[in-house]
Structure 1
Amino acid sequence: MAAAQNAIYEARGAAYVAGSMGPLGTGIQPLGTVSAEDAAAVFREQAGALIDGGVDLIILETFVNFKELEIAVAAVRARKADIPLVAHMTFGEDGHTPLGEPIEKVAAAMDAMPIDVLGVNCSVGPAPMLEMVTKMATVTNKPVSAMPNAGYPRMHEGRLIYMTTPEYLETYAKRFIRSGVKVIGGCCGTTPAHIRALHHAVKALAPARPAVEVKESKKEEAAPIVPTAEKSPLAKKLSQGKFVTCVEILPPKGADPSKVLDMAKQLKDAGVDACNIPDGPRASARMSPMSLALLFEQKVGIEPVLHYTCRDRNILGIQSDILGAHAIGLRDILAVTGDPPKLGNYPEATAVYDVDAIGLVKIISNLNRGLDVAGNRIGSPTAIHIGVGVNPVAINLEQEIARLRQKVEAGAEFIFTQPVFDTNLFIRFKNLTKDITIPTLIGILPLASSRMAEFLHNEVPGMSVPDGIRKQMADAGDKGAELGVELAIEALEAMRGMVQGVYVMSPAGGVKAPLAVLKKYL
């Protein structure tokens, strides 16, 4: 508010003062962690401060997600219905948003919004933006705005320098105007000299309507979805109501997979249905789980369940990876948010988190329908069997269940639980989720020692080991590993009738304990 008031004071009536609002910088559900309601509240607060400060108009700029722009427009209109409102989206050189939405589709949608001016800003220089706004001007009767960057920056003596001169921008300003643009300005890299050049260009020219034909953008139709039972052997068994067994194997920290391949072979020979492969558990750096999954399938012949996190990839990388996984024959994917780097050995590593597990499920579900994240056709659909995680003993169980329901709504087809040690708490969880009917595989972790039990309970997020079990493990002394297997068998027996499968984790990284737990079921 104070900034707006200061600008108005300095302008002294000689110029309009605009208030600028940009995107939140984080994804909106389902492609992020921020709800539409929370985003709207932030935008209303920003708009209120600018409006109370006295700005003449508001510019919404540099939005890459049309849904977020819609939320921002509604928020501004909720604070003041008649304030002049300019809305800008940002596109790449190919004329698409970072989410893959083409400018024709976005422009038509923007035209229907309660805004006064629509346009493009940032990301590109004058030449690519000219083509964008030319297309935009042909699908709307509203004024169109163009605010390009001063070209692309270059590194010079350790500094980023924008190379576009004011004279070059002035030349393009005239082309913008002839193409129908009625509001023109500058974004990144432009200086007062550039703005003066724009002023010279607009004085002598009036905007024109371009004679350009733009084809109507049609909504893409989804491809037929592959039935769940046909996606993978694991999916078929679950669809048939069979009880399935799975064992977790951690990827090696080095480049030699021979040890884990031998473990996978032992599991296959014993009759285990599948082997699940974590993706950087506790933010550790290990061999690529996708590469290991392919090795398991090709060299061992056991079905892999690939854990896939949102921590290390942006939306583009996620789509690329999922398409690649499908192409090499990987079909079972457990979509998880992923542990933050601060929990691991590389706390300074960058976490991406463009989306969380809910958004990841939505992305994979879209690909299964032959559509990318923006709803554009990709050709043949994928056939990924989508799994999700849940913690049945979460501290905030209501929130955990609400998120699980969102995952199921987004397209989840099976559930892996966190390790469960307390049967009564799992029964409570099942009673609260009777409406969720997709198959559940219970997580079982045989404890190896009292020290392990205490560590899991006190230091590992999402783990809860009951007092009674921790006391039993303490009393067991050197026989803790044997007792751990016995307790795991008891827990599995108690919960067998409530689930459609089990996946067992190994306390020491081998397969001896998991196979002992699963002996009755193999």
Structure 2
Amino acid sequence: MSIHRSSFPNVQVDLLLAYAGMETDLMFTHGIDLPGFASYPLLETEDGRALIQRYLKDMIALGDASGTGVILESPTWVANRDRGAAIGYSPEQLKQLNQQAIALMAELRAEAGDVPTIISANIGPRVDAYAPKDQMNADEAERYHSEQISALAETEIDIVSGYTLAYSTEAIGIVRAAQRFGLPVVIAFTVETDGRLPTGVPLEIAISEVDAATDEYAAYFMINCAHPDHFASILEDRPWIQRVMGIVANASRCSHAELDEAKALDDGDPVELGKQLSDIRHRFPHIRVFGGCCGTDMRHMKQIADASNAMRPKV
């Protein structure tokens, strides 16, 4: 896996676990209100920080138990200007909270022992990923996301991860912004039940557009916030698939529209999800990052780790 920052190539493991399901677990399982789907306000209280630490520590413990590496995702997915303003946060406050999130993660990594641990600065789209109206062009997206990325560049992050992106020009802007600050970057597109982006664009085309506009600067691409049933059929043994190196899947088979309307958590079947991701790992041994998104918790992550370890590719 080619990453531009020196710390990442030294991770000598063939499986990395990533977890991006904290918000749905907090809201639906623990009854914690997260206005705007934002978890970063939890950093402002001792109890809130303890909640975030629990998830991060659980991931490190899982990596230790399963002999895998872990990618710790920061609670900063919607900590950008417009989405922060919608719940009352100023740019100055957002900068502080972005940086506080990474500082907390760095402290935990220092205690992680021998577990290979990557700190990912998780950033999300400017607007609702499921309904990407008022799409930015690449220059607009670069200017917009540079504000958050500039704050994160002052911290101990290893990589910037643009999660749940719905159209290529926003992804291009994120890649260019990360490149401006000398940071490695991952792009995770979300797809609908037909395996296409919410804009209707095929995943292959979106990846090709980003690579063409950025001289293939992104370290790799991922799929996130979709169930394997939604995209397994589009994964083909063609050159473009080599750029897809991560799957962070939903537990639920529901469409994005159905998830938006959901009043209860659909946590799917952890064992089945683990098996489905291990099947993808068997088909495409170059994919090294696996994990859970909406509706998942540590039950799902353990099944993903166990099943994927059992399906170690023979190379």
Residue 466 (structure 1) aligns with: none
Query: What is the deviation of 1:6?
Result: 0.6
Q: Do 1:21 and 1:60's aligned partners in 2 also have CA atoms closer than 8 Å?
A: yes
Distance 1:138 1:35 in 2: 27
- Amino acid in the other structure paired with 2:122: S
Deviates more, 1:98-107 or 1:188-197: 98-107
Contact 2:250–2:292 (8 Å) recurs in 1:
yes
TM-score by length of 2: 0.57
- Please tell me whether the aligned partners of residues 142 and 172 of structure 2 are also in contact (alpha carbons under 8 angstroms): no
Equivalent of 2:310 in 204, 216, 220: 204
Aligned residue identity for 1:69: A
Question: Per the alignment, in what secondary structure is the counterpart of residue 272 of structure 2?
Answer: helix
Structure 1: tracts of 5 or more residues without a match:
210-522
Match of 1:23 among 117, 125, 134: 125
1:88 aligns to what? 188
Read off the aligned partner of 1:144 and give its amino acid letter: M
Residue of structure 2 aligned with 1:146, choices 237, 242, 247? 247
**CA RMSD for the aligned pairs?**
2.8
Question: Displacement, 1:138?
Answer: 4.3
Distance change in 2, residues 1:87/1:36 (3 Å): closer
| Aligned equivalent of 2:198 | 98
Instruction: Find 1:186's aligned residue among 268, 292, 300.
Output: 292
* Contact 2:106 2:156 (8 Å CA) reproduced: yes
Quote the sequence identity (%). 22
Q: Are the equivalent residues in 1 in contact too, given 2:267–2:296 (CA < 8 A)?
A: no
1:53 and 2:155 matched: yes
Change (3 A) 1:26 1:177: closer
Return the offset for 1:142: 3.5
CA distance in 2, matches of 1:207, 1:129: 21
Query: Residue 97 and residue 204 in structure 1: after superposition, are their counterparts in 2 closer, same or farther (change >3 A)?
Result: same
Q: Is the 8 A contact 2:145 2:177 kept in 1?
A: yes
1:111, distance to aligned residue in structure 2 (A): 4.7
Say yes or no: does 1:117 pair with 2:220.
yes
Alignment of 1:118-137 (within 5 A): 118-122=221-225, 124-132=226-234, 134-135=235-236
The letter of the residue matching 1:127 is D
1:34 to 1:22, Cα distance in 2 relative to 1, 3 A: same
Would the alpha carbon gap of residues 208 and 49 (structure 1) be closer, same or farther in structure 2, given more than 3 Å must change?
A: farther
Superimposed CA distance per residue, residues 188-234 of structure 1 (whole angstroms, 9 cap, x where no aligned partner): 1110111121111222333589xxxxxxxxxxxxxxxxxxxxxxxxx
2:180 aligned partner: 78
- Residue 296 of structure 2 aligns to a residue whose secondary structure is coil
Partner of residue 275, structure 2: 171
How has the CA–CA distance of structure 1 residues 66 and 149 changed in structure 2, closer, same or farther, with 3 Å as cutoff? same
Deviation (angstroms), 1:25: 0.5
Residue 114 of structure 1 aligns with an amino acid whose one-letter code is Y
**Counterpart Cα distance in 2 of 1:86 and 1:187:** 16
d(CA) in 2 for partners of 1:140, 1:130: 12
CA contact (8 A) 1:145 1:184 kept: yes
Change (3 A) 1:42 1:208: farther
Write the letter of the residue equivalent to 1:149. N
1:195 aligns with 2:295: no
In structure 2, relative to structure 1, the CA distance for the partners of 1:195 and 1:98 (3 Å cut) is same
Give the Cα separation in 2 of the matches to 1:136 and 1:26. Answer: 31
Aligned in 2, Cα 1:95/1:173: closer, same or farther, shift over 3 Å?
Answer: closer
Q: In the superposition, relative to structure 1, how do residues 203 and 88 fare at CA in structure 2: closer, same or farther (>3 Å)?
A: same
Q: CA deviation at 1:175?
A: 0.8
Using structure 1 for the length normalisation, give the TM-score. Answer: 0.35
* 1:65-112 per-position Cα deviation (integer Å, ceiling 9, x unaligned): 1111101110111111xx332111111121222222112322333454
Count of aligned positions: 200
2:110 is matched with which residue?
12
Q: How does 1:474-493 map to 2 (within 5 A)?
A: none
Q: How does 1:258-297 map onto structure 2 within 5 Å?
A: none
- Aligned mates of 2:274, 2:196 — CA distance in 1: 25
Distance 2:282 2:162 in 1: 24
CA contact (8 A) 2:292 2:300 kept: yes
Contact 1:186 1:195 in 2 (8 A): yes
Contact kept in structure 2, 1:170 and 1:197, CA below 8 Å: yes
Q: In terms of mean alpha carbon deviation, does 92-101 or 58-67 score higher?
A: 92-101
Answer whether contact 1:88 1:121 (CA < 8 A) is retained. yes
Distance in 2 separating the partners of 1:51 and 1:141: 28
Structure 2, unmatched stretches of 5+, are: 1-98
Helix, strand or coil: the match of 1:104? helix
Higher relative contact order (CA 8 A, sep 6+): 2
